[in-house]
Copies of this chain bind each other. A is one copy, B any other.
């Protein structure tokens, strides 16, 4: 049932103001192109879920799209802080950001519970940690056999999951490989799923037991080459570590951030245009998608 369409159409028709969305991809395959499209379409009042908010949510937060964020590690990997996230939490700019903070183990289990149509997940988590004091959604549950106290955490059930993958075929079956994170769980936990892919091929040359999302669990498939830039897509391109470092400067200052976002993303026609603008602004040449 996957609809092979444009990213503009997929984001426009599936993501609504006020929705809960999960854009996943653990360092690898982060759906940046889709994040930009959400910014361009000016979505508002979103609850955004992501284990590692990374630059993709720093951009959404700074542009005022986000009401609440559910996350477990909010840094710029290998660089330092996410300044727009910090500014929202520390100074309430551009507005107050509600946060629900968990651990990686919790969120990974909570996505798996969502994919499994369970209302909660059970884990050995948080013993001795202060996190449960600040998150009433972290509770305890007793084992009915041993009496042990374990952690219960509510399943994650986003309205829309957004992930990026290497390939889809013409029916919309999706193949990803390498670090696959919680993408399958996020897609299966969600009511609808948008998948951007590097390329659409006639036939997926999948290994036995490969990570496949069949077309009938994907709502929309959109071809967006380099759609995970500045993250990486194994077999296609590496991580743009320089961009991650440059972001530290861009995002540190509110005005610089807004100018940069306006020029590179808001005023861009699409992700290919963003890549051209970025290449030009960093002294490179125009590229053709």
Residues on A facing B (Cβ under 8 Å): 117-120, 122-124, 137, 139-141, 143-146, 148, 150, 152, 154, 177-178, 180, 207-211, 234
Contact = CB atoms under 8 A, between A and B. Distances in A.
Contacts of A137: 145
B139 A209 contact: no
A124 B117 contact: yes
B141 A144 contact: yes
A203 to B, nearest CB: 16
Given A209-B210, A210-B209, A211-B209, A144 B120 contact: yes
B177 A208 contact: yes
A156 to B, nearest CB: 12
Contact of A209 (B124, B141, B152, B209): B209
Interface of A is mostly: loop
B139 A120 contact: no
A91 B34 CA distance: 65
B144 A208 contact: no
Contacts of A211: 209
Q: Which 5 A-B pairs have the closest CB atoms?
A: A207-B207, A177-B208, A119-B143, A119-B146, A139-B144
